[in-house]
Amino acid sequence: MIYQHTMQTPIGELTIQSSNIGLTYVGFSPKMKYEECHNTYTRQACEQLSEYFAGLRYTFAVSFDLQGSVFQQSVWQLLTQVEYGKTNTYGWMANQLGKPKAVRAVGGANGKNPISIIIPCHRIIGANGTLTGYAGGVEKKAWLLKHEQQNKLN
């Protein structure tokens, strides 16, 4: 069974979906919509995301139920290590994964990240400092980065 909660945020409607194991999707345009039905994971995510948008939360503690290749999972895991209020590049990620020539593959895996904000793919930018694609749109990525810069602990 898939559980779903939809919440309003400063950057639009955010859909949170989970299984009995953990979050399966957090984003702005789900492939499938389900009847609103909560479980522990959707409630935790909603509470923690509300705190994040209020500038009161810098890390997340919720379980995932991610479906993806071993490479995608390694990219998503690495994303969780990019600190709140900081950015890094696709090249940095490829180097961290021991695959310095896999920059495009890293970008592709970032683009398939099913858990927006909580797995912070918005913190990854182009090598020249530009904001590159974001599933929710570059304007949402810019908002999230600005929000984190304004609220980060020094």
Q: Which residue is catalytic, options 11, 106, 118, 121?
A: 121
Q: Specify whether 46 is catalytic.
A: no
Beta bridge partners of 102: none
- Distance CA(23)–CA(45), nearest Å, equals 8
Q: What is the DSSP letter of 83?
A: P
Residue bearing tokens 């995608």? 72
Angle, alpha carbons 150-151-152 (nearest 5°): 105
Instruction: Find how far residue 52's CA is from the centre of its chain.
Output: 12
Q: What is the DSSP letter of 141?
A: H
Q: Cα-atom radius of gyration of the chain, to the nearest Å?
A: 15
Residue bearing tokens 């499938």? 32
Task: Enumerate the active-site residues.
Answer: 121
